[in-house]
């Protein structure tokens, strides 16, 4: 490296301060170099203060002078400093090589992730416990993975946690596991809770044909939603029944309407205000014959019995009508040609069988009554 001789210097006898003119010492000199002054002697540079000021390690021994030539040269101190700096660099890098260089990192914490970002030190990956990997964001454990399971702030806190944008647990809202308890005991108040739930005997505003139900809740928004309910069997041989309803407004639900299946086609028919509330078909037999009741109010009664050759024979209907029905009597052929009925009421009629001579005969008659039960 060439010696530095640019510019001139001014020195003061007995002072270590050297002032330069036309010099550029910050970029070209450094502490530890040698300095040959105007007196021809060599001094050690202690510090370089600026491009025009430096300090010697000892006081200048020559006479005071200005505008003098000088020279400065590097010494072995440069190599020593370089070696020291290199050793420090190697020492610092060794810790990086031993960990990150081998694919190993510090565990980290929630506040400072083990693998993070300079501009966002509370975001990254940490190992908070053995065999656990945690995704940290904003100094919050958003996701923890361990043992094949996930938890954390980004995962549902419960199977009915409806917070937006959460990872859903197995069984969340009744999917992938046992149904969850309805988040509201009153089914009118499920609101935005969509999913598959169950309600028991304490549930309110459920169908009235059972105590326990599985509920499919399908909300679109506060005033548009539907619910489907399946009864849960409570005794051996009891079949499940189903009902559906929808919302009429933000606060009002329509009545439950039963969905008919093999389990509910036959049973006891019923009605409220002219609307069917029971099974589709009811049928029965007794000593007075057979009857069929339909959910729309139609009732049909049949009976096979003997007429009388004397007075009229009575027929008490096997099930009472709500008003006098239409009745026919059809004799089975045995010399008889016609059957008649009279005195028709909602519960009983009289009937006769006649031969061609106009006389009453005792023959088997097929009786049919058609009317309404409500």
Backbone angles phi, psi at 92, to 5 degrees: -65, -40
Question: Are 351 and 367 contacting, i.e. CB atoms less than 8 angstroms apart?
Answer: yes
pLDDT at 262: 80
| Residue corresponding to tokens 């210097």 | 9
Question: Are 265 and 279 contacting, i.e. CB atoms less than 8 angstroms apart?
Answer: yes
pLDDT at 78: 64
Backbone angles phi, psi at 25, to 5 degrees: -75, -30
pTM equals 0.53
Please state, in angstroms and rounded to a whole number, the distance separating the CA atoms of residues 105 and 100: 5
Please state, in angstroms and rounded to a whole number, the distance separating the CA atoms of residues 349 and 363: 17
pLDDT at 85: 80
Please state, in angstroms and rounded to a whole number, the distance separating the CA atoms of residues 11 and 64: 5
Give the DSSP letter of residue 96: H
**Beta strands at 42-50 and 53-56: parallel, antiparallel or unpaired:** antiparallel
Question: Are 172 and 163 contacting, i.e. CB atoms less than 8 angstroms apart?
Answer: no
CA 146: distance to chain centroid? 21
Q: How far is CA 223 from CA 254, 255, 268, in A?
A: 12, 15, 34
Pick the closest to residue 301 from 289, 310, 316 (CA basis): 289
Question: Are 316 and 284 contacting, i.e. CB atoms less than 8 angstroms apart?
Answer: no
Structure-token pair, residue 8: 């001139």
Structure-token pair, residue 333: 């052929």
pLDDT at 241: 86
Structure-token pair, residue 317: 């209907």
Q: What pLDDT tens digit does each residue of the chain (374 aa) get?
A: 689 999 999 999 999 999 999 999 999 999 999 999 999 999 999 999 999 999 999 999 999 999 999 999 998 766 667 777 888 888 778 777 776 677 778 899 999 998 999 899 899 999 999 999 999 999 999 999 999 999 999 999 988 888 889 998 888 888 888 888 999 999 999 988 899 999 998 889 999 888 999 999 999 988 899 999 999 876 666 778 899 999 999 889 999 988 988 877 899 999 999 988 888 999 999 999 999 999 999 999 999 999 999 999 999 999 999 999 999 999 998 677 899 999 999 999 999 999 988 999 999 999 999 999 99
């Amino acid at each position: 490296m060439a010696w530095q001789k640019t510019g001139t210097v001014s020195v003061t006898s007995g002072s270590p301060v050297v002032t330069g003119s036309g010099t550029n010492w910050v970029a070209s000199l450094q502490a530890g170099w040698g300095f040959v002054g105007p007196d021809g002697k060599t001094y050690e540079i202690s510090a370089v203060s600026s491009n025009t000021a430096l300090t010697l390690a000892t006081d200048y021994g020559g006479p005071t002078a200005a505008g003098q030539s000088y020279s400065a040269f590097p010494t072995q101190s440069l190599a020593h400093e370089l070696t020291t700096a290199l050793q420090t660099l190697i020492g610092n890098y060794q810790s990086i090589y031993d960990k990150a260089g081998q694919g190993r990192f510090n565990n980290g914490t929630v506040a400072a992730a083990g693998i993070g970002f300079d501009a966002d030190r509370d975001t990254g990956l940490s190992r908070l416990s053995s065999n656990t990997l945690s995704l940290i964001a904003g100094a919050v454990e958003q996701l923890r993975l361990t043992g094949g399971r996930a938890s954390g702030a980004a995962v549902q806190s419960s199977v009915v946690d409806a917070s937006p944008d959460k990872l859903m647990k197995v069984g969340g809202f009744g999917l992938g596991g046992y149904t969850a308890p309805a988040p509201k005991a009153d089914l009118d108040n499920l609101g935005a809770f969509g999913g598959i739930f169950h309600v028991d005997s304490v549930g309110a505003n459920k169908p009235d044909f059972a105590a326990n139900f599985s509920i499919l809740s399908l909300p679109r928004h506060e005033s548009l939603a539907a619910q489907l309910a399946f009864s849960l069997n409570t005794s051996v041989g009891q079949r499940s029944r189903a009902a559906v309803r929808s919302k009429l407004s933000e606060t009002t639900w329509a009545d439950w309407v039963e969905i008919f299946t093999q389990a509910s086609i036959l049973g006891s028919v019923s009605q409220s205000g002219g609307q069917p509330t029971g099974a589709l078909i009811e049928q029965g037999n007794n000593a007075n014959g057979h009857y069929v009741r339909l959910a729309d109010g139609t009732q049909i009664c049949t009976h096979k019995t003997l007429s009388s050759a004397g007075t009229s024979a009575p027929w008490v209907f096997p099930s009472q009508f709500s008003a006098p029905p239409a009745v026919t009597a059809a004799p089975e052929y045995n010399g008889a040609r016609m059957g008649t009925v009279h005195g028709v009421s909602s519960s009983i009629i009289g009937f006769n069988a006649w031969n061609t001579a106009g006389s009453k005969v005792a023959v088997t008659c097929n009786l049919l009554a058609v009317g309404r039960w409500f």
